[in-house]
Chain A
Amino acid sequence: MDLLLQATFNGIVLGGVFGLVALGLNLIYGVLNVINFAHGASMMIAMYGTYWLFTLYGVDPYLSLALVMPAMFIVGYGIQRLLLEPLAGTSPSNQFLTTLGLLLVFQNGTQLLFTSNFLTINTVYQTITLPLGPALLPLARVIALGFAILLGFLLFLLMTRTDLGRAIRAAAQDPGGAEVAGINVNRIYGVTFGLGLAMVGAAGAIVVPFFYVTPSVGETFNIPAFIVVVLGGLGSMPGAVVGGLVVGLVTSIGAAFLPGSTNQILLLGVFIGVLLLRPTGLFGRRLV
């Protein structure tokens, strides 16, 4: 019972992080119709940023969100405006080939700079655990879950309650109409990609206190994020949250009770099934 409770809690935390990663991926897909294969690798870049800010300057990992998120926003904005925008109108495969190229550049570039050693930081957060019945909840994970929920909620508010959000949704639904209405669609596209990377950057920063950093760590989050997005429905934001929880719980509880990495086989099987049978996801239509 303790094990189940512990695994469930870890699953919810993982689900929150996966959901946050997937929200960014989904936003980019929903508006730009591009699958960002470099999404996990972007998270890894943010994790290195957080790691070095802490190691060199002693910046608290949660405080570093204030630096990492804007930095990742700029990276995302630049990727869209400089690399993807010029490809508009050419073969659609060109855009996802470009994000694939970025994945190779990010992953192998960091490996060249920082080697493939596993890096971890020691903060005061790791030493604190909160008791919940028979289980112990590490404070760092509780905080991560809190940030994931908060940031997801803020993104939701941004998309539904602000002019920027309305402009993004307009550009997603009808770029031509949005342009006529005076929206600079290319700039909105850049902002969207920027927001997507800021989200995944935040996810990177909040896991550093309890997760190792290495160039290939993005894969750990990339594949689940794809699964979350496809489960929840490409382009659907509430779907990303529910999908995130499902994937997080299956990963965590499966890791505790199933042999080896059987849980991954299960998830990939479900993923392919959903991709084939219901590419709009289990939760229906596009909502962005």
Chain B
Amino acid sequence: MASRIPVWLVGYLLLLGVAIAYPLVFTTAYQVNLGIVILFAAYQGSAWNILGGFTGLFSFGHAAFFGLGAYTSTLLFIHAGISPWIGMFAGGVVAAAVGISFGYLTVRYRLRGHYFALGMFAFAELLRFSAQNLDAIGGSVGILIPFKGNAPEIFQFTDKLPYYFVILGMLVVILAVSRWLKDGRLGYFWASLRSDDTAAEMVGVNTLRYKLTAMGLSAFFMALAGTFYAQFYFFIEPQIVFGIDKSLDGLLRAVIGGLNMVLGPLFGALLLAPLGELTKILLPIRNASGVDLLLFGILLILAVRFMPRGVLGTLELISGRIVRWRRAA
């Protein structure tokens, strides 16, 4: 019966084992923090990938959902005393509802390709300016979340380790959901509209429904990342949570790691995060804050040109060739 366990599941469990062991072996605050940065980026990339990778709708504005999640849980906590654990899902639902509504408009009016990317970008900017002008929610100053000490029930920890396991748990969930959906019926419909949505529609695929499902899920999961960010840094402001950087975080990991592959964003994060850290170590100057993005920009251009399948896709391609070459030998 052991042979019934698929190979990919063994791989996933191995990765999970490594992830659980990491903070127990590398215990300094810096190392645990680096682990959180990697897992968080992998999570953002996975959320973006559900829409951008699985259905091919490239969004340049996922900060919209990130920000909605951060603001919803934070406002509920500050004004109504609702625990961010609950606020997190409220934020997810708000983001999903907004995503599905805006998504409906984009599908209804046939926004595709770079038009869709541009529309999403403008939508995130619209929310950013709106948040900046709404003084009731902190305006452009933002919101400082009151720190109550170590209080797990309201998603506040003095130690970094709990955050590590929270984001690891979130990543496991999103990867499991992604795997499950992509291999199921939904995955086939997504694949059909990814390759040619006009043709898919002509053979009777309800493209509207499947695009909106992807949009809703992607927005929901991205909003949870927003809440995690708020609870980790205890400070949010429109420029950060609705800004272009947050839109690009997910896109970069997914495109460089491997579009349309469940583990692609994780590999993207595993590659980019240490590179980003390296630039900070090697260039200990005051202006080094953007050097990682400079490097990621170059990697994006190179990846699009030379590795359109991303890091993971290219690894698969190479390993596939080795297997075939061995069989032939």
Contact = CB atoms under 8 A, between A and B. Distances in A.
Given A83-B305, A105-B301, A268 B296 contact: no
A270 to B, nearest CB: 10
Given A105-B294, A276-B111, A111 B129 contact: no
B308 A90 contact: yes
A37 B297 CA distance: 13
B304 A275 contact: no
Given A265-B126, A276-B106, A101 B118 contact: no
Given A260-B139, A276-B109, 4 more contacts: A97-B304, A107-B293, A108-B290, A279-B115
Residue from A104, A107, A111, A230 having most chain B Cβ neighbours under 10 A: A104
B297 A103 contact: yes
Interface string B239-259: 000001000100000010000
Contact of A275 (B111, B244, B293, B308): B111
Contacts of B109: 276-277, 279
B301 A83 contact: yes
Contacts of A276: 105-106, 108-109, 111, 119
B188 to A, nearest CB: 20
B133 interface: yes
Contacts of B133: 259-262, 265
Contacts, number: 122
Given A271-B122, A272-B123, A94 B304 contact: yes
Nearest to A111: B290
A127 interface: no
A98 to B, nearest CB: 5
Interface string A61-98: 00000000000000000000001001100111110111
A30 to B, nearest CB: 14
A219 B124 CA distance: 14
A171 to B, nearest CB: 20
B122 A91 contact: no
B290 A101 contact: no
Contacts of B293: 104, 107-108
B297 A101 contact: yes
Residue from A34, A269, A276 having most chain B Cβ neighbours under 10 A: A276
Contact of A116 (B115, B287, B301): B287
Contacts of B126: 265, 268-269, 272
B294 A275 contact: no
A6 interface: no
Contact of B129 (A96, A108, A109, A264): A264
A110 B254 CA distance: 26
B132 interface: yes
Contacts of B299: 101
B10 interface: no
B58 interface: yes
18 contacts: A34-B114, A35-B114, A83-B301, A93-B113, A94-B304, A94-B305, A97-B300, A101-B304, A104-B293, A105-B294, A108-B290, A108-B291, A223-B125, A260-B132, A261-B129, A265-B133, A269-B126, A276-B108
A55 interface: no
B134 to A, nearest CB: 9
Question: Which A-B residue pairs are the 10 nearest by beta carbons?
Answer: A104-B297, A108-B290, A101-B300, A108-B294, A101-B301, A105-B297, A268-B126, A260-B133, A276-B109, A111-B290
Nearest to A272: B122
A101 B122 contact: no
Given A105-B294, A109-B294, A265-B130, A94 B286 contact: no
A148 B132 CA distance: 32
B158 interface: no
Interface in A258-288: 259-262, 264-265, 268-269, 271-272, 275-277, 279
B117 interface: yes
B287 A111 contact: yes
B308 A112 contact: no
Contacts of A83: 301, 305
A87 B304 contact: yes
A250 B234 CA distance: 37
A233 B66 CA distance: 31
A193 interface: no
A93 B58 contact: yes
Given A97-B255, A276-B106, A115 B298 contact: no
B101 interface: no
Nearest to A276: B109
A183 interface: no
B274 to A, nearest CB: 18
Nearest to B130: A265
Nearest to A260: B133
Nearest to A230: B118
B117 to A, nearest CB: 6
Contacts of B113: 92-93, 96
